[in-house]
Amino acid sequence: MDGFENYTNSFLEYLQIEKNASPYTIKFYLKDMESFFLFLNREGMDDDLDSVDYQIVRVYLTSLYDQHLSRRSVSRKISSLRSFYRFLEREELVSTNPFKNISLPKADHPVPEFLYMEELEKLFTISDTSTPLGQRNQAILELLYATGIRVSECTGLKLADVDFQINTVLVTGKGRKERYVPFGRFAEVSLQEYIKNGRLELQAKRKTGDETKALFLNSRGNPLTGRGISLILDKMVKEAALTIDINPHKLRHTFATHMLNEGADLRAVQELLGHEQLSSTQIYTHVSKDHLRNVYMNSHPRAKERE
């Protein structure tokens, strides 16, 4: 597969330099391309990308479905290879793009899971805020719920990104796009306490002696990872004796759901979440059964007896 390395190196440079793609995005592009090159070798094509036509692409798609991949995974692979061939066309390495007219399978859109306020309230009372780690955990929970930011955006926050004068945090999202997200009073209090006390104590535990700019630190004073945040949330759920699964993304779902349930504008929520397409935000337009029932009971003329 000598051709694989030659093609991918130039394409990955294009993604990094021209498209400013994140390492996460590049990782999946590489994985999708490698899968396609392996398929070509099994078909005896030996990396001959210019000979790939519509019929070969259909055989490739059949092989993907035979692996019982989800529609979403197949769609991602098609999109990756379509972009790859678009780049090859631009560089005049192939004459046509065989993925150009391949339609993406319709993706399933499951309703995102979210937490009810009763569940959240229990979590908010778990952390021992007299300790550095408790202060940090409370600040993470409050900030994730207050802003709806992704876990990767949370771990990427720097101390200087928090502005207490106007209560906003500067978030670097997908494609390194920046946006300002506001946070409320509860998150402000938790962040202030953590930064003024707990973070300083955690910072002092760094063995290297130099300061880190990361906002959230682990018990050794090093920047906290996404895995670390997931473990923190799991521990909080167990201590709260809740029978729920929780992860940072569920808090993001909860933020969006609660905002929309309380009447927030869909486009405003789109901006806060950092979604490029409004359709990505529309999956949150479902409402909880309790909220729907309350709206009905308070609005329908014959929903309840007149006083």
Q: Which residues are catalytic?
A: 150, 174, 249, 252, 275, 284
98: CB partners within 8 A, 6+ apart: 52, 53, 54, 56, 57, 85
Give the torsion sign (CA, 114, 117, 119, 121). Answer: positive
**In angstroms, rounded to a whole number, what is the distance separating the alpha carbons of residues 215 and 162?**
9
Q: Please report, to the nearest 10 degrees, the dihedral formed by the alpha carbons of residues 65, 68, 72, 73 taken in order.
A: -80
**In angstroms, rounded to a whole number, what is the distance separating the alpha carbons of residues 263 and 163?**
26
Which segments of the chain does DSSP mark as H helices, in order? 2-17, 23-42, 54-66, 71-90, 117-124, 132-147, 151-155, 185-193, 199-203, 226-239, 248-261, 266-273, 278-282, 289-299
**DSSP letter, residue 171:** E
Distances (CA, A) of 5 to 1, 2, 10, 46, 275: 7, 6, 9, 13, 33
**In angstroms, rounded to a whole number, what is the distance separating the alpha carbons of residues 60 and 73?**
14
